[in-house]
Amino acid sequence: MQRRPLTALPADKVLVAPSILAADFGRLAEEISGVEAAGAELLHIDVMDGHFVPNLSIGPPVVQSIRTVSALPFDVHLMLADPGRYAEAFIAAGADHITIHVESEGDLAAILEQIRSSGCSSGITLRPGTPASALDPYLNLVDMVLVMTVEPGFGGQSFMADQIPKIRHIARALEELDHPVHLEVDGGLDAQTAPLVVEAGANVLVAGSSVFRNPAGISEAVRRLRS
Ligand code: DX5
Ligand code: ZN
């Protein structure tokens, strides 16, 4: 399978990753074409197990289906208690990038290596209450760090501005590494909050509600996020 890992994209440019969690699932292919036409660089796919977070969302069959309608890199965010059990299924379904939570169970270093050895890029993320230092053992094993600016589980929540110092701190730590690492932010991003996280050092912006539910339309929403 042809992969489009995030290592192929510049880590010093702002990239937009619409989250399909906020899309109209009855018109999913159309919604994805809309963000592709709007110039989004990635498609963010939120995977929830009803256990690590109190919500259920998308499984491998959906990823496999939308793979046939989109050439965008698929940025898969696993909110799973046991990511090692499912990573392979998402890789087989057509993921290009997989992010796992540092609070998950299992040998996380081995899972990150498995993701990379499949040709995907790898990422690690943390809940708002988890300190940045929890990521330290994994920074050399990832191509992206994701900072959550809402409690994972649901779209449409308010941006947590108290996470900005953490974004700034992680951005500095990533500069010290000898490989480029993307810094993604997820939760409550819109035209007002996106500039705050870019200023703090983030380069990948996840946005669900502000893209798919924007009265101004998808293209205008993506443009406003970027500017
Ligand atoms: C939350 C998800 C987010 C969410 C973002 O658990 O990880 O990706 O869909 O949605 P908005 O942009 O609506 O906060
Ligand atoms: Zn997400």
Cα–Cα nearest to 174, from 144, 200, 130: 144
How wide is the angle at C-alpha 196 spanned by C-alphas 42 and 160, nearest 5°?
A: 90
Ligand 1, atom nearest to 209 Cα: 13
Place of tokens 């491998």: 60
Cite the active site residues: 46, 186
Verify whether ligand 1 is closer than 6 Å to residue 189 (CB atom).
yes
In the chain, where the domains are located: 6-226
Residue 191: C-alpha distances to residues 13, 183, 186 (Å): 17, 18, 14
- 10-residue mean pLDDT profile of the chain (227 residues): values are 97 98 98 98 98 98 98 98 98 98 98 98 99 98 99 98 98 97 98 98 98 98 96
> Which pLDDT score, from 0 to 100, does residue 50 have?
98
**Distance, CA 26 to ligand 1 centroid (Å)?**
19
> Which pLDDT score, from 0 to 100, does residue 214 have?
98
pTM above 0.95, yes or no: yes
At the topology level, CATH places domain 6-226 in: TIM Barrel (3.20.20)
